Structure 1
């Protein structure tokens, strides 16, 4: 009989954010939501294209005190450690040795989620709610429009309610002034 990995059966009360760093054999891109492990299914080509386009655009416009990272988890609390598709983090959170496996919520100024068919509820509801409660100032949700074109929903945190309010919906060009000046031609996805 094959041995069952320890992470297959959750402990009483669920897993913690710290557990993710100590579970051997855990599938890549495993997230922790409400103490439960969430496994990612294979991504579609659109997802990869949208992440590449936005990562490139953010990296060329981000000021020197910020870093753009892909697929790194963020510790929101003891029982929540999701993995945004893209995060913009404060430069001081990135170590010289690049050994970190995730960041604290306070390190992030922006979390970006590209919606996939298997993550619609998490990306539209669960994650933004939890990101807001953790105080991450900006959130972008990216969805597939016609063909391979993305539409980017831009949200800013209302600090009084710790919920996001939509500040823009961008179809062909993503041009915003916060958290820093960004201007990305979304139609470039057609050339990728």
Structure 2
């Protein structure tokens, strides 16, 4: 068993990049402090995989959806969030970056899980708005599965709809049909 040597200061980007991969935990950095949580359960992972694929397939060709990609909110003190799904420019994704800047993110999606509800609804809600991310969607997998869509208006998120079942959402002028009930079922929705 190896022992990780933690720095005796707030984490820097170099410290973050040097951390070992950990398949059992998810990690983010908030104002230089490492925040670690257990990996989410299967339904959460299934929903994230499906949303990533559906958004990647259905958004305009100039966009690309990525699951669990690192997003830098701020460098000093370092804040790196890992949204469940984010959408950025396809040209940027094609560069294969280690992480993206929040300024390059058009949409962030968080799927609520045990232990993240307050973070996703309060902390990330305000961080993402402050960072200028235009669209923020929160998915709740509790029965019935639902989604709240927010859009940045004058620096604040406004609720653009609360959805259940089959929905068609507008993203950058492109309709995105989603079946929220199918996010955790064995057979994925087909566009």
TM norm structure 2: 0.85
CA distance in 2, matches of 1:114, 1:142: 5
* Structure 2 unmatched runs, 5+: none
After the TM superposition, which segments of 4 or more aligned residues of structure 1 sit over 6 Å from their partners? none
Distance in structure 2 (CA, Å) of the matches to 1:165 and 1:55: 23
Partner Cα distance (2:127, 2:141) in 1: 23
Q: Structure 1: which 5+ runs fail to align?
A: none
Question: 2:118 and 2:13 mapped to 1: Cα distance?
Answer: 21
Answering whether residue 11 of structure 2 is matched by residue 40 of structure 1, we say no
SS at match of 2:121: helix
Alignment root-mean-square deviation, CA: 1.9
Q: Select which of 179, 183, 186 maps to 2:180.
A: 186
Does the aligned pair in 2 maintain the 1:87–1:110 contact within 8 Å?
yes
Instruction: Give the aligned partner of residue 151 of structure 2.
Output: 156
Normalized per residue, the structure richer in strand is: 2
Equivalent residues in 2 for 1:1-192, closer than 5 Å: 4-7=3-6, 9-11=7-9, 14-23=10-19, 25-28=20-23, 29-78=26-75, 79-96=78-95, 98=96, 100-146=97-143, 149-158=144-153, 160=154, 162-179=155-172, 180-189=174-183, 190-192=185-187
Q: How many correspondences in the alignment?
A: 181
Deviation at 1:164, TM superposition (A): 1.0
Q: 2:113 & 2:2 partners in 1: Cα distance? A: 32
Change in Cα spacing, 1:106 to 1:121, as seen in structure 2 (3 Å) is same
Note the C-alpha offset of 1:10: 4.3
